[in-house]
Chain A
Amino acid sequence: EVQLVESGGGVVQPGGSLRLSCAASGFTFDDYAMHWVRQAPGKGLEWVSLISGDGGSTYYADSVKGRFTISRDNSKNSLYLQMNSLRTEDTALYYCAKDSLRYSSGWYPYWGQGTLVTVSS
Chain B
Amino acid sequence: DIQMTQSPSSLSASVGDRVTITCQASQDISNYLNWYQQKPGKAPKLLIYDASNLETGVPSRFSGSGSGTDFTFTISSLQPEDIATYYCQQYDNLPPVFGPGTKVDIK
Asked if A pairs with B, the answer is: yes
| Interface of chain B: mostly helix, strand, loop or mixed | loop
Q: Which of B38, B43, B55, B97 contacts A47 (CB 8 A)?
A: B97
Q: How far is the CA of A64 from the CA of B94 in the complex (A)?
A: 14
CB contacts under 8 Å to A, within B64-107, are 85, 87, 89, 91, 94-101
Q: How far is the CA of A22 from the CA of B46 in the complex (A)?
A: 19
Which residue from chain A places its CB closest to the CB of B99 in the assembled complex?
Answer: A44
A50 within 8 A of B: yes
Q: How far is the CA of A50 from the CA of B93 in the complex (A)?
A: 13
Q: Which of A45, A59, A106, A111 contacts B98 (CB 8 A)?
A: A45
A-B pair count, CB < 8 Å, reads 57
Q: How many residues of B contact A (CB 8 A)?
A: 23
- Docked-complex contact A105 and B91, CB < 8 angstroms: yes
Q: Which of A44, A95, A105, A109 contacts B55 (CB 8 A)?
A: A109
- Docked-complex contact A45 and B44, CB < 8 angstroms: yes
Residue from A45, A104, A113 whose CB has the most chain B CB atoms within 10 Å:
A45
CB contacts under 8 Å to B, within A68-119, are 95, 100, 104-109, 111-114
Interface residues in chain B, defined as those with a beta carbon under 8 Å from any beta carbon in chain A = 1, 34, 36, 38, 43-46, 49-50, 55, 85, 87, 89, 91, 94-101
Interface residues in chain A, defined as those with a beta carbon under 8 Å from any beta carbon in chain B = 35, 37, 44-47, 50, 59, 61-62, 95, 100, 104-109, 111-114
Q: Other CB < 8 Å A-B pairs besides A47-B97, A109-B55, A112-B43, 12 of them? A: A35-B96, A44-B87, A45-B89, A47-B98, A61-B95, A62-B1, A95-B44, A107-B34, A107-B91, A108-B34, A108-B36, A108-B44
